[in-house]
Structure 1
């Protein structure tokens, strides 16, 4: 199967809810899909892959139970996909993946609408192969190489490479604080997302550690005192002001960085 990584850009009109669940099990007309979904289906057909995983369709969006269950499996979804299609250049699902290239704009993947989503870092880091449809060109990334059409610009984010290395060579301690900083600087759909949005990477990191290691709401047992030494920042990485507040209703213990909004 192929997995799609895309930017919702607000509400997505084509999504699975309790009211249309059984209807979606029967069929969804191609014309009902937004352009990004249509493009992803077209790519799957060209690759001769029959199955496509899209979060807004494969998770019942108004079911907290299904959402929690599927979020826990997210790491397996992207890690086991044949390839992940990353619609980097589209700010929402209506814009499409590859029919509006702006050649020679030389934009970095870090400046794309998709790169600012909190969930996306996990999706990209865990995917073994990524086909990126950026605003200016198509790029390919896998465990052995990164290639682009322009042949001259590095398109793989350094932090993504760093995090992959952390998971691969078990450099655990130097990885976690960087991960928290990176996630809290990105946009999350809801401020209750930080823990679910990092759960896949948490699972991968835990696999390389002793069984005695315990994870507590964003903090790890072996470095618990150090993990509690966090603070909120009044500015984002780009210099804009960043407000912070306690997440309500209760989501995480007050000693966890996941209990507040804003950049950590």
Structure 2
């Protein structure tokens, strides 16, 4: 039986520097995680990324480090259909890109202002931990280009294996759930804190594996595969973030 007063107080917002330390420790010391990235092919075409500083969709440069986002589009067919419409709305990005490419201009396009919370939070989180580029399927794949989808979908393993880290949105049922702790007021901790002789004690949450196994993200084969492929993951749950590698 677990000790009832074995928990720790979790801050209301994430600490970017602490999470970055976990990532750097893996990058610097875990050779087995590093080697996983090279057990797959490369993506030579149609590889676009979000520049989290400029908030633009840009072509991936050679040896560019990037994070990837794994999330649930919608908890029901209606939610999924609604989000797919939002993704298709990003066609404006791709019409701009295609026009610039055709005219030999510098390819790239600004992101829309109103993005689903999970996507917006992922962009802010990457910027906060010093990762400039981010790959998100609904934005970085032209949803109206069958050629691009036919090329990239079979290469999803390469995209997630070669990401420096995958951000897993396991806190909700759709793309509007957000990443708890990135913005103020999005993470709660309702556990009782007890003081005994000047020391504070708090009940513990369930183990990470138990928490994650109950999420919608875990139960979807597609998203579960994305997490399984990734050498490193930040897993956002309603109350805390877990790092695994």
How far is 1:86 from its partner? 0.2
Secondary structure, counterpart of 1:4 in structure 2:
strand
Q: Supply the distance in 2 between the matched residues of 1:45 and 1:60 (Cα, whole angstroms).
A: 24
1:93 aligned residue: 175
Shift in alpha-carbon separation, 1:18–1:92, aligned structure 2, 3 A: closer
Alignment of 1:109-148 (within 5 A): 109-142=212-245
1:15 aligned residue: 87
Kindly indicate whether the alpha-carbon contact (under 8 Å) linking 2:169 and 2:179 is maintained by their aligned counterparts in 1.
yes
Q: Supply the distance in 1 between the matched residues of 2:223 and 2:168 (Cα, whole angstroms).
A: 9
Q: Supply the distance in 2 between the matched residues of 1:87 and 1:111 (Cα, whole angstroms).
A: 13
Q: 1:44 aligns with which of 111, 122, 126?
A: 126
1:58 aligned residue: 140
CA deviation vs aligned residue, 1:220-252 (integer Å, no higher than 9, x gap): xxxxxxxxxxxxxxxxxxxxxxxxxxxxxxxxx
1:6 aligned residue: 71
Kindly indicate whether the alpha-carbon contact (under 8 Å) linking 2:217 and 2:224 is maintained by their aligned counterparts in 1.
no
How far is 1:63 from its partner? 3.0
Structure 1, gaps ≥5 residues long: 143-264
1:28 aligned residue: 111
Compare relative contact order (CA 8 Å, sep 6+) and give the higher one, 1 or 2: 2
Runs of 4+ in 1 over 6 A off after TM superposition: none
TM-score, structure 1 length as denominator? 0.49
Alignment of 1:1-264 (within 5 A): 1-9=66-74, 10=80, 11-12=82-83, 13-16=85-88, 19-20=91-92, 21-23=94-96, 25-29=108-112, 31-99=113-181, 100-103=186-189, 106=206, 108-142=211-245
State which drifts further: 20-29 or 88-97: 20-29
How far is 1:62 from its partner? 3.1
Structure 2, gaps ≥5 residues long: 1-65, 75-79, 98-107, 192-204
How far is 1:22 from its partner? 2.4
TM-score, structure 2 length as denominator? 0.53
How far is 1:101 from its partner? 3.3
How far is 1:111 from its partner? 1.1
Q: Supply the distance in 2 between the matched residues of 1:4 and 1:121 (Cα, whole angstroms).
A: 12
Q: Supply the distance in 2 between the matched residues of 1:90 and 1:59 (Cα, whole angstroms).
A: 23
Aligned residues: 141
Kindly indicate whether the alpha-carbon contact (under 8 Å) linking 2:187 and 2:239 is maintained by their aligned counterparts in 1.
yes
Taking only aligned residues, the RMSD between alpha carbons, in angstroms, comes to 2.1
